[in-house]
Amino acid sequence: MEYSGLTTDQMQTPSASTVASRWLVVTDLDGTLLDHAYDFSAAAPLLRQLEQRGVPVVPCTSKTAEEVEQFRAAAGLRGPYIVENGGAIHFPHPENWLLEIPHQPGPGGGFVVPLGWPGQRLRPLLDSLAAELGTQFFALEDLSLEDLMARTGLSPTGAALAARRRWSVPFVLGEDQAIEAVEALAAARGLKVLQGNRFAHLIAPGSDKGLALAALRRADPRRRAVLALGDSPNDMALLDKADHAIVIPGANGPHPRLRSAISAGRYQLASAPHAVGWAEAVATWLALWPDEGH
């Protein structure tokens, strides 16, 4: 399938004189920067360049803090990161940010800004939603390690890190259960259910990727603009709050629930899936906005 949007010929590698250091790049990981084998090698050189030139790349993901820390180490990132669909923001180096909102010490240093409810509070609410719908949900925490590995393609270590939830309850829908009905009931009960690539996610009403981005903006002393990238419905809150939003397609094109926003011009569509499309889109967009002109 061919994709509209950016093309390989449009790609430019940002130079020191053109990198827009007045931008934050806030990105989903699974299905966006990472493919389904968790590979991001096609974007690794650009990630290094952006880090060296002072353009923060901020993961904003459904992953746990432990998973993101592993990714950040591999990618060479040092900036903040948003975990569990906006459940918390981690600031490993808080000296570069204005943390005027409630925060607590991070487990590995720095600070954490909690935005969601603890998972222990959310889990009984998931069971209540299932009972009201007359169905059964399978929470990630109830899956065996082998089942979680089979569903995610993660190694035993990776699956164990994915299970360390603090601010969300990922779950598998019951057979023939429509996600729209679950989302509607959750909203009626003052909760949020988001659809991701592999799981649905129950989160608190005061947390999602868009609300986390708003908190990140308030903590940014430089008030930088935001380039956001995502691929699935749980990224829509992030994309809607960004200054420029780019959807990364899958192998069969963009997610069906994102297509109307692409057609309306609210989101731009990258030219290729995962890290290849991500790198092309980010390099091209930032090259359009030199520091001197924005």
Domain boundary among 203, 236, 271: 203
Half-sphere exposure of 32 (CA within 13 A, CB side): 28
Gap between the Cα atoms of 207 and 112, Å rounded: 14
Q: Mark whether 153 and 218 lie in a shared domain.
A: no
- ∠ CA 79-40-38, nearest 5°, is 105
- Identify the CATH number of the domain in which residue 282 sits: 3.40.50.1000
Domain that residue 168 falls in: 119-203
Q: Does any domain span residue 3?
A: no
SS3 content of the chain, % helix, strand, coil (to 5): 40, 20, 40
CA angle 99, 102, 107 (to 5 degrees): 85
Residue 218 falls within a domain, yes or no? yes
Q: What is the pLDDT of residues 249-262, one digit of tens each?
A: 999 999 999 999 99
Predicted confidence at residue 178, as pLDDT, reads 86
Judge whether 259 lies within some domain: yes
Same domain membership, residue 249 and residue 174: no
SS3 39: coil
The total of structural domains in the chain comes to: 2
Asked which of 39-48, 177-186, 235-244 is least confident by mean pLDDT, the reply is 177-186
Indicate whether 243 pLDDT > 80. Answer: yes
pLDDT score recorded for residue 109 = 82
Q: How confident is the model at residue 4 (pLDDT cuts 50, 70, 90)?
A: very low
Question: 179-188 vs 119-133: helix axis angle to the nearest 10?
Answer: 120
The last residue of one of the domains, among 159, 176, 203, is: 203
Last residue of a domain, one of 168, 203, 238: 203
Q: Are residues 198 and 213 in the same domain?
A: no
Whether 1 is covered by a domain: the verdict is no
* Domain containing residue 132: CATH number: 3.30.980.20
* Structural domain contains residue 110: yes
Average pLDDT, the chain: 88
- What are the backbone dihedrals phi and psi of residue 50, each rounded to the nearest 5 degrees, phi first? -65, -40
Does 28 share its domain with 142? no
| 15 and 111 part of one domain | yes
pLDDT at 288: 63
Give the model's confidence band at 173: pLDDT under 50 very low, under 70 low, under 90 confident, else very high.
confident
Specify whether 21 is located in the same domain as 93: yes
